[in-house]
Amino acid sequence: MSKDGGGLRVRVKTARKRTPQSTRWLERQLNDPYVKRAKADGYRSRAAYKLIELDERFGFVKGKKRVVDLGIAPGGWSQVVGRQNPKAAIVGIDLLPVDPIDNVIILQMDFMADAAPARLIEELGGAPDLVLSDMAANTVGHPQTDALRTMALVEAGLAFAIETLEPGGAFIGKVFAGGADAALVAEMKRNFATVKHAKPPASRKGSSEWYVVAQGFKGRRAVEEER
């Protein structure tokens, strides 16, 4: 490695078995202040600060008793919730293996599987009052296809939240390309008192990810009566 800017920035030389793309990724990681901060604070990833910053703005974590973390890997979001609400029941799910987290139940399974929603509620011990979704589909390199695949996960996460949330609960989900589409936003507004889009500072400037924050779940009966 070499340094420039008076030793402030780390540059990574391209190793024989490392592609230029992986070299750029490694250099970005080594120079990312959020990565360094995450290591210092004991969080598993820089993504923890996305949730922290969203919560500082919208205040949806405090006081929550039962939380579902969709796409939990590597576990930073559940760590944040656990630190703020030590007594909260937290259940996370992901296709990838996740190292154990204190007081968090982790399911390694596909959230899109038919059995997943019931299993989450069973492990949680009741209806959630907060559903978090940092799920994103594996990219194939075609922007429109990637956006559609991720939007399908957002829609599935929202459907789960609407089906299971306690009245007054909240849903936070990752979306792309400036936010959720009009139909999805309309569905959220039917079911939640407020719906906002936000891009937290911890989200890289070059990333197309945004987050939708839906708060004040109206309850299934109330929504049915409005229709």
Catalytically active residues, by annotation: 174
Is there a binding annotation on residue 110? yes
Is there a binding annotation on residue 94? yes
Is there a binding annotation on residue 75? yes
As a whole number of angstroms, the distance between CA 170 and CA 195 comes to: 10
User: Which amino acid belongs to residue 122?
Assistant: E
As a whole number of angstroms, the distance between CA 32 and CA 77 comes to: 19
Q: Which residue has the tokens 């296709």?
A: 95
As a whole number of angstroms, the distance between CA 221 and CA 225 comes to: 6
Is there a binding annotation on residue 32? no
Q: Which of 110, 37, 46, 35 is nearest to 76 (CA)?
A: 46
Instruction: Write out the binding residues.
Output: 75, 77, 94, 110, 134
Instruction: Write out the binding residues for S-adenosyl-L-methionine.
Output: 75, 77, 94, 110, 134
